[in-house]
Amino acid sequence: MDYLKNYINGTYCEAISGAWIDNYNPSTGAVYAQIPDADNKDIDAAYKAAQAAFPSWSTATIETRSRVLLKIADLIEVNLDSLAEAEARDNGKPLSLAKAVDIPRASANFRFFGNAITQFASEAHESVGLNTMNYTLRQPIGVVGCISPWNLPLYLFTWKIAPALAAGNCVVAKPSEVTPMTAYLLGEICTEAGLPPGVLNIVHGTGPSAGQAIVAHPNIKAISFTGGTETGAHIARTAAPMFKKLSLELGGKNPNLIFADCNYEKMLSVTVKSSFANQGQICLCGSRIYVEETIYEEFKKDFIAKVSALKVGNPFDDDTNIGALVSKPHMEKVQSYIKIAQEEGGSILYGGAPVTVAGSENGYYLQPTIIEIKDNGCRVNQEEIFGPVVTIMPFKTETEALELANGVKYGLSATLWTSNIDRTMRLSAQIQAGIVWVNTWLNRDLRTPFGGVKQSGVGREGGFEALKFFTEAKNVCISYDADI
């Protein structure tokens, strides 16, 4: 049994209360670790360490901060195999995916922001004729809170921490209690990279206790949160009256619009990924598939054939495409939606049932599931399921496709499959989403803005947007005497 610890002031420690929470391996259903059940006392200790480290970290040269972040990136790469194994065990995702995507991306986050901070500049505005010069200082905020979800554990944890640290803040961070392992291991890496004690503090515990204590702490001045829409609303209710800066990256129910004029083979193979990668547990998965009527039957047949060839299995098997869902409660939630779909008159075209994996009989495995729906407004097509479940329905015209795509409360991302450039331009402008992919999916350049509209979030992260979020802009106006 592993005992994870909080990482506060550069050292590992238990929760002050001495309480622990079970941590499950979703591919076997067994408890394999204990994590500290931190509460507001631990968060306050983390805050105090961060506050003490702030004067020195916030005034360290850009080169110093950059060097430490790049070293963390290097060490994540060096530890790729062990981190990927830890991620697969903790989350249930295929080891191959953790090795190819999650861990390299965590390293890329530190590398990107370690470099970006050296290029981050502020503006100057000369008021010609008034003899004044304005310049903008972009100063670190102080101690900030970062809270991340379980689906891409180290990837999303570092997506927040790296820009916060690069900009000169000190951080109190909490990973999901469901997937704490790689965040725990990150502490050691930060120490080895020479990150001064207290600059980053990683606290484990539940959302309502440790998470809430971060959000409600009177001196933690900004919160970057990625997670569900309901949790985001709850966080906003606490943080807004305290006038905290807030970045909320929330749920999605993303449309995948497929037109008959697309590159069919490419669309088909990418659509399998955008539907079921990471067991469908990516906020950017295209969970609502709309297909132009003229190719609908052909698509259905080919899509089912490809999806039925996916192997659901132990995350550590090389040929596994779909691993375990992250937890028992989550598996039950996803299954409840499959039942709702049937009650609502949806047809299960493929999947829908749990899978028993030999040697891992108590793991949380579910078939990839395709549900044909008739009504865009049905619950299974409106509510975020966040599992290996997609809906499909046909459309006749571009106008109808746009209406269907926009007919949900979410607006995170959308994918468009067409070779018509006019249609691409029209729809990209009119789709209500923070991100539109055309003839591709999950293609990320870290310089680009990332975030959602409607109930998918508030604010943008990524590139200089993240560095702007993690700094306060201050205008300095200097009047000068123009006469010699």
Nearer of residues 27 and 212 to ligand NDP, judged by Cβ: 212
Nearer of residues 65 and 234 to ligand NDP, judged by Cβ: 234
Question: Rule CB under 6 A: which residues touch ligand NDP?
Answer: 147-151, 156, 174, 176-178, 206-208, 211-212, 215, 226-228, 231, 234-235, 249-252, 283, 384, 386, 412, 452, 456-457
**Catalytic site residue from 190, 262, 283, 378:** 283
* 477 a catalytic residue: no
Nearer of residues 104 and 228 to ligand NDP, judged by Cβ: 228
Nearer of residues 195 and 215 to ligand NDP, judged by Cβ: 215
Closest approach of ligand NDP to the CB of residue 120, in Å: 22
* 123 a catalytic residue: no
Per residue, the 3-state secondary structure of the chain, as one string, reads: CEECCEEECCEEECCCCCCEEEEEECCCCEEEEEEECCCHHHHHHHHHHHHHHHHHHHCCCHHHHHHHHHHHHHHHHHCHHHHHHHHHHHHCCCHHHHHHHHHHHHHHHHHHHHHHHHHCCCCEEEECCCCEEEEEEEEECCEEEEECCCCCHHHHHHHHHHHHHHCCCEEEEECCCCCCHHHHHHHHHHHHHCCCCCCEEECCCCHHHHHHHHHHCCCCCEEEEECCHHHHHHHHHHHHHHCCEEEEECCCCCEEEECCCCCHHHHHHHHHHHHHHHHHCCCCCCCEEEEEHHHHHHHHHHHHHHHHCCCECCCCCCCCCECCCCCHHHHHHHHHHHHHHHHCCCEEEECCCECCECCECCCCCECCEEEECCCCCCHHHHCCCCCCEEEEEEECCHHHHHHHHHCCCEECEEEEECCCHHHHHHHHHHCCCCEEEECCCCCCCCCCCECCEECCEECCECHHHHHHHCEEEEEEEEECCCCC
**Catalytic site residue from 85, 87, 177, 249:** 249
Closest approach of ligand NDP to the CB of residue 397, in Å: 30
Closest approach of ligand NDP to the CB of residue 238, in Å: 7
Nearer of residues 34 and 456 to ligand NDP, judged by Cβ: 456
Give the residue numbers annotated as catalytic, written as ranges.
Answer: 249, 283
